[in-house]
Amino acid sequence: MFQHLYRYACKMKDLTNQVGRFLSLVLRHKPEEIGVHLDNQGWTPVDELIVALNSKFSVVDRQMIDRIVAENNKQRFALSDDGKKIRANQGHSVQVDLERIPKKPPTVLYHGTATRFLDSILAEGIMSKSRMHVHLSADKETASNVGRRHGILAMLEISAKQMAEDGFDFFLSENGVWLTEHVPRIYLIHRDGD
């Protein structure tokens, strides 16, 4: 009996992770994948999203959505104050206005990337490419973890305070990621690995 319950719990955890990854795709990049609509601020009704997700997974309920939002280690999602809508916190390739207010960044921010991208970044700066913003970290550890996901780590230090003084806007997402539209190369300092 215990083994059966354990296997069921593992299966549900795997399924919850799959739904979470798919939710990230839908709320950040491809809402049309399951026919949901994001409003101008990136919100979609939770009840409609559950129906749409069940066309693919057939086991999604409100408790699973709440668990995904609460337990996502990167805090990728947010629920509206009334709990009726959900959106991704950042990382969108679809155009949304997250109604962010510019904030004064710390003196230095960090960007972890793979060494294979380093020549291009040092020549052009950090570009948002298909996303709305460049993602930056307030600490080296977070930036290192991000960079290692893409290959051999290259650590970049950004002179964020100087950028802000020069007129660049910075925003802080709900999950602590610093955002800006572009980091010109003159504000970059390359650091080996960690």
Ranges of each domain in the chain:
2-88, 109-192
The amino acid occupying position 22 is F
pLDDT score for 6: 53
pLDDT score for 191: 67
132, 79 Cβ separation under 8 angstroms: no
For 80-123, what is each residue's pLDDT tens digit?
889 999 998 877 777 777 677 889 999 999 999 999 999 999 99
3-class DSSP assignment, residue 157? strand
Burial class (CB in 10 A: 0-12, 13-18, 19+), 180: buried
pLDDT score for 5: 54
Model confidence at 70: pLDDT above 90: no
Distance from C-alpha of 56 to C-alpha of 22, rounded to nearest angstrom: 10
The CATH number of the structural domain formed by 2-88 is: 1.10.10.970
For 120-160, what is each residue's pLDDT tens digit?
999 999 998 767 788 899 999 988 988 888 889 999 999 99
pTM listed for this prediction = 0.60
Q: What is the CA radius of gyration of the chain?
A: 19
117, 147 Cβ separation under 8 angstroms: no
pLDDT above 90 coverage of the chain, percent: 44
C-alpha distances out from residue 31 to 63, 180, 189, Å: 21, 24, 37
**Residue keyed to tokens 């003159």:** 186
**Nearest-CA neighbor of 110 among 174, 193, 28?**
193
pLDDT score for 78: 85
Q: Would you state the CATH architecture of domain 109-192?
A: Alpha-Beta Barrel (3.20)
Within this chain, domains 2-88 and 109-192 share the same CATH topology: no
pLDDT score for 11: 61
